[in-house]
Amino acid sequence: MSKPTSPAASDSPAFVIPPAPPGSARAQTVRDLNTARSLVSFPVDKLSNIIHGSPDVMKRKKELLALIESDPVFSKANRHHGSREDRMLRSMQMSKRLIEIRDAHKLSDADMWTLRALVDETIVITLHEGMFLPVLRSQCSPEQAKYWIPLAEQYKIIGSYAQTELAHGSNLSGLETTATYIQETDEFEIHSPDITAAKWWIGSLGVMSTHTLVQAKLIINNKDYGPHPFVVPIRDPETHVPFPGVRVGDIGPKMGFNLIDNGWILFHKYRIPRTNLLMRFSQVTSKGQYVKPPHAKLAYSGMVFVRTNLVRMAANALAKAATISVRYAAMRRQFTVVNTAKQQIGMRSSDETPVIMYPMVQARMFPRVAEAYATLFTAQEIESMYHDMMHRLESFDVSTLPAVHANSSALKSYCTGLALDGIEELRRACGGHGFLMSSGLPYLMANYSPNVTYEGENQLLTQQTARYLLKQLHKHQTQSETLHPMVEYLELVSLGGIKAQCTGVSSPTDWFNPSVQRAAFAHRAARLVGELAHQISHEGIPFADLNVECARVSVAHSQFIMVSSFHNTLHKLLKQDASMAVYPALKLVADVFALSEMLKNVGDFTEDGYLSQAQVKCLRQAFKTALHDMMKDAVGLVEAWGYTDYELDSAIGRSDGKIYEALLQRALDDPINQKQGGKGVAKGYQEYIRPLLKGERAPVKLAKL
Amino acid sequence: MSKPTSPAASDSPAFVIPPAPPGSARAQTVRDLNTARSLVSFPVDKLSNIIHGSPDVMKRKKELLALIESDPVFSKANRHHGSREDRMLRSMQMSKRLIEIRDAHKLSDADMWTLRALVDETIVITLHEGMFLPVLRSQCSPEQAKYWIPLAEQYKIIGSYAQTELAHGSNLSGLETTATYIQETDEFEIHSPDITAAKWWIGSLGVMSTHTLVQAKLIINNKDYGPHPFVVPIRDPETHVPFPGVRVGDIGPKMGFNLIDNGWILFHKYRIPRTNLLMRFSQVTSKGQYVKPPHAKLAYSGMVFVRTNLVRMAANALAKAATISVRYAAMRRQFTVVNTAKQQIGMRSSDETPVIMYPMVQARMFPRVAEAYATLFTAQEIESMYHDMMHRLESFDVSTLPAVHANSSALKSYCTGLALDGIEELRRACGGHGFLMSSGLPYLMANYSPNVTYEGENQLLTQQTARYLLKQLHKHQTQSETLHPMVEYLELVSLGGIKAQCTGVSSPTDWFNPSVQRAAFAHRAARLVGELAHQISHEGIPFADLNVECARVSVAHSQFIMVSSFHNTLHKLLKQDASMAVYPALKLVADVFALSEMLKNVGDFTEDGYLSQAQVKCLRQAFKTALHDMMKDAVGLVEAWGYTDYELDSAIGRSDGKIYEALLQRALDDPINQKQGGKGVAKGYQEYIRPLLKGERAPVKLAKL
């Protein structure tokens, strides 16, 4: 029964995928993607310019891509196979090569950011570039800058930024590492009192750094001045062996980011010169005198910059996942149901249905596309606030710092969460293939994942936002201070607006009115801030008992800002002739975003009677219509971001539509298959499989059972 | 400036972590875990018995654990380091060893399931055991069973179950592979018309299988009888080389599950004997006559079994993640805020706060603990329905099949989604350390992840549930058929209940009344089913346009069942003296579950005016109180599941509380650190790091820029 009789078949070791037969599912995917492109209602390049600011960005990206695309060092083939050691070696190799390319072509910092984004790996020099250098630039005194910065820029030293400790992440004031001033030798002694003081998570430290910037409690004459940054040489420049008094290593494999050497370090009474304290803001004199910074919050600007940047990166990451998923949904077909979308497009009822035509797929994917746009336009607003703030700081005007700090924190928290949840939802919406590394989605998700934790844990950040909002409300109510546009809804709290009902909606189309949308988010944010203030001032609940309420307020505030930012952007576009062709499509995206955000938390809008049952019904109907209408533009909306196939590294999101060939080709090229085109015998057969099949059981020590 | 002066330090290559100094953060974690245990209000072993049914389960698990715990083949050290090839070899090695242990100790199937759960890897024999054998057992004719099953049980053949194709997952009727009957030779010819017909995702096929069960369209005399299962020998039993006409391989790396050989296979006019069609339900005679199965749905029972099983596995996976996270939250301290929980426990305000005392951490973690219990009790109910159904099927009574099928589908969809989202939320709630593989959480998440896709994609399954509910409603309304207890709320639709208002709540404590909870979920489910029915019958919307509405209905139905199942379980416990001691704690867990589920979708309960603003305020207050009260029991509630340290494989969830030592020890043992205790030089230094530091740039071909 088990022996087959079989006619001869083509059994050459190399299996070449034959061309797609006409009428096959393979021919269909290519055709479907082109059809989807032909339906797009706007010029994609115009939208691309709005996203990137100018056509030069895309042009430059392509030039830079040409530098690495065919370099085997940067090949993405089999990037998911190697051991952690293999990955670290690749990471070093890529790092070295990038610097060589930089020097040979005299590339700018901006070019290097673009190149690293193309490579799409967080590598062993990423934190040297991303933290070590920026902190040196912002916290060195002029003489220090002259010494350290050229060394770092030329990679004569490699550095990292060591703040977090094994037992203390978010709580900076709980750090245990000390830097004690020793006047006799004019040195600081860096010391880790226990292993819980080990610096931990420090990128570029595990194997690469020659130096690290240590945040340690500054102690002078037994007095603790709190955490300060010190440049600490840790490895011998000639041998790379850690110096006596230093123990340093990698913290081990992670969910993602396995090409970077997140490291740990312990110090044992380790001495550095006094002048290694970064002295732009605070100083210690050789007499052991501490000189305070002119403004306690000046050092915050770096943090604000990073958080602002993370908002834009959230938009990029989400758009990347959306590009893969939406293309796949336009190509993948499943089942022969008949629904309205299929009928409208004139398909036969017997044709299998492109999954993008299912309302459920639209509801899973299109709001994510809209979120990417909303996040981008919000990033653009917060970036210009940041630049204005930096300009003011030059003349020590710190007046806008609290607003920029609070809003960048709220948005870092909300937008990175939105992006991670969105990427994962897009991945799941691709079904089984979304679980394959060759889809590109799991790697994107895993590597994006730490964004919700680093640079301020997302839930923790919401406490700061809430504090800021409470303060603004208090100031407004007691000092009639003019409200910043981003919090102008707080006016409603005092005007009795928190008892309002929505008046602008009596049909679904009313929900497409921007003022109706904005009023709803304003009302809801105002009501929640008002309730929080009431709980503290009238009910006497301690602030620390109100974590969940603070988070709710921060979400409401962030959503208000994002909906407003989108509206502001549309308003600006309306004034530009060149943008008129994309306006209707983007207006629809704005509607999908606003309505989706409202439906996610619809209870917030109904529980106080702001919306009636009929209005919620209209809301759901409007949302459904908007999703349905967005279908024709979906592929154009993702392709406007301009992600190349090299960046996407996705078999199912390919721009040529040949998804099934690509999936199989990746499998054929897999080392496990030993490149024998599906005719080979597995490594391990002799040791493990054959003995099993032949009943050759090894003796097992019979433990007591 | 860069050369340090440093006193001598202990620089021996081996770094031994010193004992925890008294008063240190390390001493505190151990103490905090013990304090948390001492607060638990119930006997943990009693609850453990309720979870596992009897103390024997835990006892047997420990006996089986002893068989593998100290066997290097099953060591979990460095399991996250190897290349994909290394992992596959380990997988084969573990597979062989498990069979040797099985045979030596004559272990039962149940024991083997327990062993594999302990090993906690989906390995190359998992699908042989989990799909190949069960399908043979349920679909072979008696003669076929006698031939094939002993071969498979003794591993003389290794098999897999090949249904999904590259271009067709969910849509079984779209499968392209054909099995054409050739009367002249009394054979079937298995053929893949194009690469899109490649069987894809098939576990145990990529490198292991000698045979695979192929679902192929049965063709006799050009007539298509739809998909049927065939046993197909694919690799030579002597050499393991694929037979002519077969191409087979691994599909490549995945987000998780990298120790299993999910495979692909293509057939070229490949012949097998007629008798290799599994003939329990349908037959083909040597004359080419097709014999229909006695009941078209009989083959469904296997699918129902798998889905039912996935509900219980969802509970287990979630409880495992919760064990790690809740223990960690009880040990991790951060910030010195003063909140009510801290005051009640008599801590000094200057003490750092165990993060479990933050309302936000409670809100992130405790509902997940409650979801694990709710899922378990629901699984127990659906399992007994399944067993009753199987009993009936023996006498061809298929009357309960639709209910069990629909409910197991709804619950598979809802509970696996709940578990995956819960695991990820618990992972994120552990902050940075939750991103480390040594926390155990990322691996658990990645490996659990496919549960939301396989055995019925979760969103797709909701369409079936909705269809079933609509049918039940229709039957009830037109034929006054008695409603199954799981859908008895449908009665409300006809009784005008969908316009009701909640009458039982005027204070927060009213929300702890089970009938109030149940009535709310019943009302909401009834309203949504009623609205869906109305949209179809009165508004004429095609069913295929209502995906999103169907999913909403399925969630509402699942939540109703889960809340009811929890109440039913509590009701049973009340009748058992032995359970009285755990009743109050479990009642609180039930409350946390019901209120959490309600708040997740609170708009569903407010938008039609069922709940008033005051009642929602009470709901939030009641939820907050319940979470706060659950804190004392939290560690007991997770430890009752009885997960061993070997199973958890987590540095931060250790039962001895030594989390910081464990994190550092894992890092020290990491191959990247070359076991030199933080004194070594990285592999790759000479090739990549030194040239970079010394400015030895390799020449770069200057492409046009």
pLDDT digits (tens, 9 = 90+) for A371-427: 999 999 999 999 999 999 999 988 888 889 999 999 999 999 999 999 999 999 999
- B696 chain-A contacts, CB cut-off 8 A: none
Residues in chain B with pLDDT values less than 70: 1-13, 296, 298-299, 494-497, 702-705
Query: Which residues of A form the catalytic set?
Result: 455
Measured CA to CA, the distance from residue A681 to residue B246 in angstroms comes to 13
Measured CA to CA, the distance from residue B500 to residue B612 in angstroms comes to 12
Measure B194 CA to nearest chain A CA, in Å. Answer: 8
Task: Determine, for residues B334 and A248 on separate chains, whether the beta-carbon distance falls below 8 Å.
Answer: no
Report the pLDDT value the prediction gives residue A704, as an integer from 0 to 100: 62
Residues of A numbered 236-255 whose beta carbons fall under 8 angstroms of chain B's beta carbons: which are they?
237, 239-255
Q: What share of chain A is helix, strand, coil (3-state, %, to 5)?
A: 60, 10, 35
Residues of B numbered 112-171 whose beta carbons fall under 8 angstroms of chain A's beta carbons: which are they?
147, 154-158, 164, 166-171
* 3-state secondary structure string across A108-133: CHHHHHHHHHHHCCCCCCHHHHHHHH
Burial level of B700, CB count in 10 A (0-12/13-18/19+)? Answer: middle
Q: Is the Cβ–Cβ distance between B94 and B73 less than 8 Å? A: yes
Measured CA to CA, the distance from residue B593 to residue B582 in angstroms comes to 17
Using the predicted structure, report yes or no on whether residue A233 has a pLDDT greater than 90: yes
Q: Which residue has the higher pLDDT, A40 or B351?
A: A40
- B670 chain-A contacts, CB cut-off 8 A: 249-253
Interface check for B62 against chain A (CB to CB < 8 A): the answer is no
CA distances in angstroms from A308 to A91, A527, B476, listed in the order given = 27, 27, 57
pLDDT band at A703 (very low <50, low <70, confident <90, very high): low
Report the pLDDT value the prediction gives residue A582, as an integer from 0 to 100: 96
Task: Determine, for residues A613 and B609 on separate chains, whether the beta-carbon distance falls below 8 Å.
Answer: yes
Task: Determine, for residues A544 and B338 on separate chains, whether the beta-carbon distance falls below 8 Å.
Answer: yes
Residue B554 carries which side chain, given as an amino acid letter?
S
Interface check for B59 against chain A (CB to CB < 8 A): the answer is no
- A606 chain-B contacts, CB cut-off 8 A: 603, 606-607
Lowest mean pLDDT among A141-145, A523-527, B211-215, B294-298: B294-298
How many residues does this entry show for chain A? Answer: 705
β-pair type (B178-182, B211-220): parallel
Residue B204: strand, helix, or coil: coil
Interface check for B666 against chain A (CB to CB < 8 A): the answer is yes
Q: Tell me, yes or no, if B455 is annotated catalytic.
A: yes
Q: What is the DSSP string of B476-524?
A: HHHH-PPPPGGGGGGHHHHTTGGG----S-SSGGGGG-HHHHHHHHHHH
Q: Using one digit for the tens of pLDDT, what is the confidence trace for A602-636?
A: 999 999 999 999 999 999 999 999 999 999 999 99
Report the pLDDT value the prediction gives residue A4, as an integer from 0 to 100: 43
Interface check for B544 against chain A (CB to CB < 8 A): the answer is yes
Query: Element (H or E) spanning A48, and its range?
Result: helix A44-52
Q: Is the Cβ–Cβ distance between A139 and A229 less than 8 Å? A: yes
Report the pLDDT value the prediction gives residue B5, as an integer from 0 to 100: 41
Measure A442 CA to nearest chain B CA, in Å. Answer: 6
State the residue for tokens 């290694």.
A276
Interface check for B203 against chain A (CB to CB < 8 A): the answer is no
Interface check for B507 against chain A (CB to CB < 8 A): the answer is no
What is the number of other CB atoms lying within 10 angstroms of the CB of residue B121?
A: 22
Nearest chain B residue to A237 by CA distance is: B693
> Any binding-site annotation on B203?
yes
Nearest chain A residue to B545 by CA distance is: A339
Measured CA to CA, the distance from residue A424 to residue A441 in angstroms comes to 8
Report the pLDDT value the prediction gives residue A3, as an integer from 0 to 100: 43
Measured CA to CA, the distance from residue B80 to residue B644 in angstroms comes to 20
Query: Element (H or E) spanning B227, and its range?
Result: strand B223-233
| Joined tokens for residue A161 | 């930024």
Measured CA to CA, the distance from residue B694 to residue A691 in angstroms comes to 54
Measured CA to CA, the distance from residue B678 to residue B668 in angstroms comes to 7
C-alpha closest to that of A184 among A106, A268, A288, A39: A288
Q: Is the Cβ–Cβ distance between B80 and B42 less than 8 Å? A: no
* 3-state secondary structure string across A262-297: CEEEEECCEEEEHHHECCCCCEECCCCCEECCCCCC
Nearest residue, CB atoms, B671 vs list A85, A198, A551: A85
Measured CA to CA, the distance from residue B498 to residue B493 in angstroms comes to 6
Report the pLDDT value the prediction gives residue B74, as an integer from 0 to 100: 97
Residue in B176, B187, B424, B455 annotated catalytic: B455
What is the number of other CB atoms lying within 10 angstroms of the CB of residue B141?
A: 15
Residue A621 carries which side chain, given as an amino acid letter?
Q
Q: Which residues of A457-489 are buried (b: 16+ CB within 10 A; e: fewer)?
A: bbbbbbbbbbebbbebbeebeeeeeeebebbbb
Mutate to test the interface with A, among B10, B64, B90, B360 (most CBs of A within 10 A): B360
Report the pLDDT value the prediction gives residue A238, as an integer from 0 to 100: 93
Report the pLDDT value the prediction gives residue A700, as an integer from 0 to 100: 78
Residue B698: strand, helix, or coil: coil
Residues of A numbered 586-625 whose beta carbons fall under 8 angstroms of chain B's beta carbons: which are they?
599, 601-603, 605-609, 611, 613, 616, 624
Q: What is the DSSP string of B375-408?
A: HHHHHHHHHHHHHHHHHHHTTT--TTHHHHHHHH
Q: Which residue has the higher pLDDT, B703 or A662?
A: A662
Alpha carbons within 13 angstroms on the beta-carbon side of residue A318 total 29
| Joined tokens for residue B596 | 């959490």
Torsion of CA A256, A258, A260, A262, to 10 degrees: 80
Q: Which residues pair with B290 in a beta bridge?
A: B284
Give phi and psi for B457, each to the nearest 5.
Answer: -60, 135
Report the pLDDT value the prediction gives residue A1, as an integer from 0 to 100: 42
> Any binding-site annotation on A164?
yes
Spell out the residues 6+ positions from residue B154 whose beta carbon is closer than 8 angstroms to its own: A695
Nearest chain B residue to A61 by CA distance is: B705
Report the pLDDT value the prediction gives residue B702, as an integer from 0 to 100: 66
Q: Which residues pair with A242 in a beta bridge?
A: A235
Q: Is the Cβ–Cβ distance between A216 and A192 less than 8 Å? A: no
Give me the total of CB pairs closer than 8 Å, taking one residue from chain A and one from chain B. 540
Helices then strands, each counted (H, E), chain B: 24, 11
β-pair type (A211-220, A223-233): antiparallel
Q: Which residues pair with A181 in a beta bridge?
A: A188
Interface check for B344 against chain A (CB to CB < 8 A): the answer is no
Q: Using one digit for the tens of pLDDT, what is the confidence trace for B425-438?
A: 999 999 999 999 99
Domains and CATH numbers, chain A: 159-293 (2.40.110.10), 302-497+507-639 (1.20.140.10)
Q: Using one digit for the tens of pLDDT, what is the confidence trace for A64-113?
A: 999 999 999 999 998 999 999 999 999 999 999 999 999 999 999 999 99
Q: Which residues of B653-684 are buried (b: 16+ CB within 10 A; e: fewer)?
A: bbeebbbbbbbbbbbbebbbbbebbbbbbbbb
CA distances in angstroms from A333 to A352, A430, B196, listed in the order given = 6, 12, 12
Measured CA to CA, the distance from residue A623 to residue A595 in angstroms comes to 6
β-pair type (B270-273, B178-182): unpaired
Nearest chain B residue to A684 by CA distance is: B89
Residue B21 carries which side chain, given as an amino acid letter?
P
| Joined tokens for residue A383 | 């970036």
